[in-house]
């Protein structure tokens, strides 16, 4: 199955890379543990108490680090599996194999005994599931609400041929919040006048 550029931003692939980062750091930490274990044994055999102590402390630190990373990695894997609600056990296995383990449809075909074309169709559907967008309008706190009309529009609606002073006064009323903008937004006469433009 060909891999498109869009997969670089695919959430499934990103989760796979995150788990890979955990695995690499765990492997690194375990290597450091072995290194400091050797340092500890060597220093102890030579009777160097200070180096033995330093190596022991360093080894213990790396052991705690590796243990914490393993716990976090397991928690992430569990969360991912729990998040795959709506998928059958077989679909979850395919999802994990493709997005997390980075296996091709042909490798999955051999493991799961499912035709590679069926695997490709499943993966395509799963990609669509992850591409769903939920547009939520977040309120802009502190943002000033401006009317969809000008002070001149309102002045002309209220009186015929308003003077400049009258328009300025209406503008001040709008700026200071004295005029209820919500009321005007839902006033059928005013909105009808604004939309028709017949009396302007």
Is the Cβ–Cβ distance between 92 and 3 less than 8 Å?
A: no
CA distances from 199 to 3, 58, 109, 184, 191 (A): 61, 84, 72, 17, 12
* CA–CA distance, 164 with 155 (Å, rounded to integer): 10
Number of domains in the chain: 2
Domain match, 125 and 155 both: no
Residue pLDDT, tens place only, 34-47 = 999 999 999 999 99
Query: How far, rounded to the nearest angstrom, does the alpha carbon of residue 17 sit from its chain's CA centroid?
Result: 15
Structure tokens at 148: 């969809």
20, part of any domain: yes
Evaluate if residue 130 carries a pLDDT over 60.
yes
Task: Say if residue 94 is exposed, middle or buried (CB neighbours under 10 Å; 0-12, 13-18, 19+).
Answer: buried
The answer to whether residue 136 sits within a structural domain is: no
Domain hosting residue 118, numbered range: 5-130
In this structure, is residue 139 part of a structural domain? no
**Residue 113 pLDDT:** 85
Asked whether 13 and 99 are in contact (CB, 8 A), the reply is yes
Query: Is 124 inside a domain boundary?
Result: yes
pLDDT tens for each residue of 30-77: 999 999 999 999 999 999 999 999 999 999 999 999 999 999 999 999
Check whether residue 124 and residue 159 sit in a common domain.
no
Please indicate, yes or no, whether the overall pTM of this predicted structure exceeds 0.75: no
Q: How does DSSP classify residue 163? A: -
Q: Is residue 79 part of a domain?
A: yes
Alpha carbons within 13 angstroms on the beta-carbon side of residue 160 total: 1
- Rounded distance, CA 73 to CA 24, Å? 11
Q: What is the pLDDT of residue 131?
A: 66
Domain membership flag for residue 137: no
Q: Could you tell me if residue 186 is inside a domain? A: yes
């Amino acid at each position: 199955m060909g891999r498109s550029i869009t997969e670089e931003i695919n959430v499934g692939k990103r989760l796979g890379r995150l788990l890979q980062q955990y695995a690499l750091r765990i492997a690194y930490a375990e290597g450091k543990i072995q290194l400091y274990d050797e340092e500890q044994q060597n220093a102890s055999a030579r009777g160097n108490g200070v180096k033995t102590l330093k190596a022991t402390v360093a080894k213990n630190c790396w052991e705690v680090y590796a243990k914490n990373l393993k716990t976090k990695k397991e928690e992430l894997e569990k969360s991912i599996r729990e998040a795959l609600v709506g998928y059958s056990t077989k679909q979850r296995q395919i999802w994990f194999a493709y997005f997390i383990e980075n296996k091709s449809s042909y490798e999955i075909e051999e493991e799961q005994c499912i035709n590679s074309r069926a695997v490709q169709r499943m993966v395509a559907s799963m990609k669509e599931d992850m591409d769903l967008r939920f547009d939520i309008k977040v309120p802009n706190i502190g943002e000033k609400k401006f009317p969809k009309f000008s002070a001149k529009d309102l002045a002309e609606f209220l009186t015929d041929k308003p003077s400049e002073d009258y328009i300025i006064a209406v503008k001040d009323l709008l700026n200071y919040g004295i005029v209820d903008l919500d009321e005007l937004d839902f006033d059928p006469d005013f909105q009808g006048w604004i939309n028709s433009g017949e009396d302007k």
